[in-house]
A and B are shown apart, each in its own frame.
Chain A
């Protein structure tokens, strides 16, 4: 029997009080326990940013790597040992600026991992600069006259890239968030969850109140309906949908690999070379 306490780390989170990341850490621990996934079979890979410190605060196999590079590490961990549950975790700057190409290709490959982005629409760790999801007009240290660049829409991007599970959560609604993360981990293939996660210190626009006034729970009639998912994903402004927008069963990358689809790579014995294997050079 796995309990939430089994995932309690020894290091106390260094996030600001009331940071949206807390709800996500709790949700991840609760879901893993609920699904009976043991800490030693869990790998949490992150990039760099406030949210990316998460692997330090959970008792599991943590990998706190480089800014933007969580997904290639997480992919290879899963390919090496598919018996592990692999969660990639990071922020919007990490995932939608520096790591954009990895996000696109990991989604397209349908690697069987769960990618949770703590989206606070700002760079927090570097003390408040506009990020790829900052809104037009948003003022920050680097955009004193207001942001003039159109924000990235992570959901339409994820859908267009070919993610087979696309959802949005809100750190201010932990119960709903738990459900989404649970479904994401259960999904076989690439699950992408964008979590609206207020930065209480640097983002004075996209606050808990801002979201509480706007979010509504979206229930898809047909989760495999791509065009409806794409249309709903574009909603932003007075009404912001949260929930699961899209889910489709597709073969994951490893299911199609000539070698790894048969047996987990870590369980395959290395080939012993012999003269027959170098005969082509004679």
Chain B
């Protein structure tokens, strides 16, 4: 593995503090100016089982959880055996080639090659500083950070933050970590790593928080959501900052209520959004179509997890694309965005708020567990953004028609409370003025006109789409097409191929529907087009082929885990040779 990066993994059972230990490690790196990404492998239980948390850091840009493992903190025997066993492969995760840190009380394991065993009296040291048994994790963090040459002061600061300042508990943890740090230094040899630590702190956050920040930057005023993994990270962030951001936040009785409330608020002129995972989104389907029919702006955050049904609640997948594309009866304009990383999530959620109001139609922001729950560093936020409320009617406007036929399909919106613009918004088919046409008399000509008016809005959106992003595509013989969260892994896999002399490049789709008309040009004259996605049937592949009539190959993964760059590069290479 490169000396310019490090991968640390903490393995243990649920309830053993795996995640909070992992976040201390991650933050220590982001505060020393390194680029960081974390990966959380966990189950749908509160206690027991086997979970682990991985942190990858480098002064170069880190784009995914990474191959390889340098330092393992094993909180129990199972973790020590599991992560050092080359036979065991947790959805693609690497076994340890490096240092294992564990409590001296763990004995009787069979030593593996490529593993440097570093037993540290974690519990004994912890007991000297605190009565809380989880403090042994802090001792282990101290040892791990010593093993890669991180300054202790940085770790101490992060621990203080984690335990709420300079109180007794915080100081107990700091002193425990210090002893773990010193114990390692005195007894074992450091790893040979060349990481350029600086004092330029980076932001460290997850996709859920990025949704919240993006929405707020895009003028969010109300968030209505019902808890469901992995959409809850956004709900939690937004709820905990309701006062800071002047937001009205509500968890109502179900997702049906949530989306209807979000629609009601937008109707009343307040930017509102809702969010869920596939199960909750399925309940929202009918109302999504209503927003399309009534031409009410609406942003829905859809964070996918492994389906079908309850599926693998804590595992990732990109299996909801068919659902999102086909959600609700009939045809109506919808925009589907799929951010590729944490900062892209911020940017696209923010843009979604404007698009929804500009085109007066639903915009769905699709993420997944991998993107919604891992942490990633962001160098800088650009908060400069202009809120566009779209076309609004003026008070007492003459001959006001809510659904006036216009060239771009966008009609002036009136907000309840505005004088002289009273009208009815109807889920039944209606005329320009909003009067229902389905009951008393049905007029085919009018139906055609109003359908075409609504659908024209998509043509207008397509015209303003920015060019599709690509990576090393210019001279590529092989075009790899990815959508959403797989960006970082696919880019790195392409780097691996390029190092072997294979001319591959990436077409990166974060605007999934409608697809950008510039894509056929990018696909042209390639020896092979390979679509990579995290689902069984190749849902995006099918969309791409049907839209552009191209021939493609497909690489899929549906074991609940994300792609890994090394394994993906191998699969791509095989596919290219085939």
Which A residues have a C-beta under 8 Å from some C-beta of B? 9-11, 14, 38-41, 43, 45, 48, 53, 55-56, 59-66, 69, 71-77, 79-81, 83-84, 101-102, 104-105, 257-260, 265-266, 268-275, 277-278, 281-282
Report whether B264 and A259 are in contact in the complex, using a CB–CB cutoff of 8 Å. no
CA distance A63 to B415 in the complex (A): 12
Residues of chain B within 8 A (CB-CB) of A81 are 268-270, 416-417
**Does B391 touch A at the CB level, under 8 Å?**
no
Residues of chain B within 8 A (CB-CB) of A265 are 221-222, 248, 265, 270
Report whether A62 and B425 are in contact in the complex, using a CB–CB cutoff of 8 Å. yes
Residues of chain A within 8 A (CB-CB) of B268 are 43, 76-77, 80-81, 84, 266
CA distance A56 to B424 in the complex (A): 6
Report whether A77 and B264 are in contact in the complex, using a CB–CB cutoff of 8 Å. yes
Task: Tell me, rounded to whole Å, the shortest Cβ–Cβ distance linking A256 to chain B.
Answer: 12
Which of A39, A40, A43, A53 gathers most chain B CB within 10 Å?
A40
Beta-carbon contacts of B381-392 to A below 8 Å, as 1s and 0s? 101000100000
**Does B426 touch A at the CB level, under 8 Å?**
yes
Residues of chain A within 8 A (CB-CB) of B436 are 11, 53, 56, 64
- Supplied contacts A62-B425, A77-B265, 20 more A-B pairs, CB within 8 Å: A40-B417, A41-B416, A55-B424, A56-B436, A62-B422, A62-B423, A62-B426, A63-B424, A63-B425, A64-B424, A64-B427, A65-B260, A66-B290, A79-B250, A79-B261, A258-B242, A271-B244, A273-B381, A278-B205, A281-B378
CA distance A55 to B423 in the complex (A): 9
Main secondary structure on chain A at its contact with chain B?
A: mixed
Top-5 shortest CB links A-B: A76-B264, A62-B424, A73-B264, A72-B260, A80-B268
Report whether A80 and B260 are in contact in the complex, using a CB–CB cutoff of 8 Å. no
Residues of chain B within 8 A (CB-CB) of A63 are 264, 267, 294, 424-425
Report whether B435 and A80 are in contact in the complex, using a CB–CB cutoff of 8 Å. no
Task: Tell me, rounded to whole Å, the shortest Cβ–Cβ distance linking B83 to chain A.
Answer: 29
**Does B317 touch A at the CB level, under 8 Å?**
no
B: contact size bracket: 35 or more
Report whether B222 and A76 are in contact in the complex, using a CB–CB cutoff of 8 Å. yes
Residues of chain B within 8 A (CB-CB) of A84 are 268, 416-417
Name the one of A40, A41, A66, A259 contacting B286, with C-beta atoms under 8 angstroms.
A66
Contact A61 B416, CB 8 Å, known A73-B263, A79-B265: yes
Residues of chain B within 8 A (CB-CB) of A278 are 203, 205, 213, 381
* Chain B residue at smallest Cβ distance from A104: B253
Residues of chain A within 8 A (CB-CB) of B31 are 282
Name the one of A9, A56, A83, A277 contacting B417, with C-beta atoms under 8 angstroms.
A83
* A-B pairs with beta carbons under 8 Å apart, 13 shown: A59-B422, A61-B416, A63-B424, A64-B425, A65-B294, A69-B257, A69-B287, A75-B261, A76-B265, A80-B265, A270-B387, A282-B30, A282-B203
Residues of chain B within 8 A (CB-CB) of A260 are 248
Report whether A281 and B221 are in contact in the complex, using a CB–CB cutoff of 8 Å. no
Residues of chain A within 8 A (CB-CB) of B265 are 76-77, 79-80, 265
Residues of chain B within 8 A (CB-CB) of A79 are 222, 248, 250, 261, 265
Residues of chain A within 8 A (CB-CB) of B521 are none
CA distance A84 to B257 in the complex (A): 20
* Chain B residue at smallest Cβ distance from A54: B424
Residues of chain B within 8 A (CB-CB) of A62 are 422-426, 434
Residues of chain A within 8 A (CB-CB) of B420 are 40
Residues of chain A within 8 A (CB-CB) of B257 are 69, 71-72, 101-102, 105
Residues of chain A within 8 A (CB-CB) of B503 are none
Report whether B427 and A65 are in contact in the complex, using a CB–CB cutoff of 8 Å. yes
Report whether A61 and B423 are in contact in the complex, using a CB–CB cutoff of 8 Å. yes
